[in-house]
């Protein structure tokens, strides 16, 4: 069963549950492939009273009859643990291969925060380029983002901001402004899930982002990198 969670995460989950339930009535095992898991950022309680939605999503999928769940670049290890044996497929090799073909000048993979450092380092290894990790602070109540880093060596180079998903584009825009201010020639954004809600694309362009590259885990004009082969490899017996 293949069903991504964007757009409309609530309705997509309901469709996935009904399809899994129907398939479980006929099949020995059911694998639910959810390339973009829409609730993955709700993997812990940040503010008092918040629900940890991912725990309930995992339970619902198991109760519906899913033997295992395959996702692509889920937001965190904690979210993956909610799926109990779920398989996480990396889109980084495919994204890096696409960026290599762009012919960038002395490129550097940039993580917008410390939490994404491992992903950006993986990208840097695949692309054979440098690595820079930014410091990020986000106000949980207002959503306002600020970034900082020692970017003195970025002048004249091309930067690729690497993230698992881009939603409103606030983190990428803040990173792009810092990088452009440090003298970067061009700034590109590469992510697995290019949600680009609201005015995200406009905000990033205004901040100096030259291009936005995403995988085809969600529909959209930026979703140009095919990861179907990686998913197929994960579900093959």
Residues 6+ apart with CB under 8 A from 177: 207, 208
Query: Hey, CA dihedral for 145, 148, 154, 159, is it positive or negative?
Result: negative
Residue 136 appears among annotated catalytic residues: yes
Token output for 24 = 């479980």
Q: At what angle do helices 92-100 and 117-127 cross, to 10 degrees?
A: 50
182 vs 149, 161, 172, CA distance in Å?
10, 14, 15
For residue 99, give the DSSP letter.
H
- The CA-CA-CA angle for residues 20, 90, 232, to 5°, reads 50
Name the active-site residue from 136, 180, 186, 193. 136
Structure tokens given for 144: 């306002």
Cα separation values, 149 from 65, 75, 104, 128, 135, Å: 47, 23, 22, 22, 6
- Tokens encoding 227: 């990861």
Alpha carbons 210 and 184: distance in angstroms, whole number:
11
The residues carrying an active-site annotation are 136
């Amino acid at each position: 069963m293949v069903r991504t969670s964007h757009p409309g995460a609530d309705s997509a989950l309901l469709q996935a549950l009904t399809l899994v339930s129907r398939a479980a009535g006929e099949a020995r095992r059911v694998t639910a492939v959810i390339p973009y898991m829409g609730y993955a950022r709700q993997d812990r309680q940040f503010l008092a009273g918040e629900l940890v939605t991912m725990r309930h999503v995992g339970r619902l999928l198991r109760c519906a009859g899913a033997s295992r769940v395959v996702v692509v670049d889920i937001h965190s290890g904690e979210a993956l643990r909610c799926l109990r044996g779920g398989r996480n497929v990396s889109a980084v090799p495919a994204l890096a291969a696409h960026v290599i073909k762009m012919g960038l000048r002395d490129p550097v993979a940039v993580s917008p925060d410390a939490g994404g450092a491992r992903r950006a380092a993986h990208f840097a290894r695949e692309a054979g380029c440098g690595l820079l990790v930014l410091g990020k602070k986000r106000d949980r109540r207002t959503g306002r983002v600020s970034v900082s880093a020692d970017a003195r060596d970025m002048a004249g180079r091309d930067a690729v901001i690497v993230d698992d998903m881009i939603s409103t584009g606030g983190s990428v825009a803040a990173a792009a402004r810092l990088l452009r201010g440090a003298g970067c020639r061009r700034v590109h954004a590469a992510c697995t899930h290019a949600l680009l809600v609201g005015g995200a694309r406009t905000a990033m362009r205004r901040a100096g982002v030259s291009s936005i590259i995403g995988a085809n885990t969600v529909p959209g004009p930026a979703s140009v990198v095919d990861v179907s082969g990686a998913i197929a490899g994960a579900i093959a017996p």
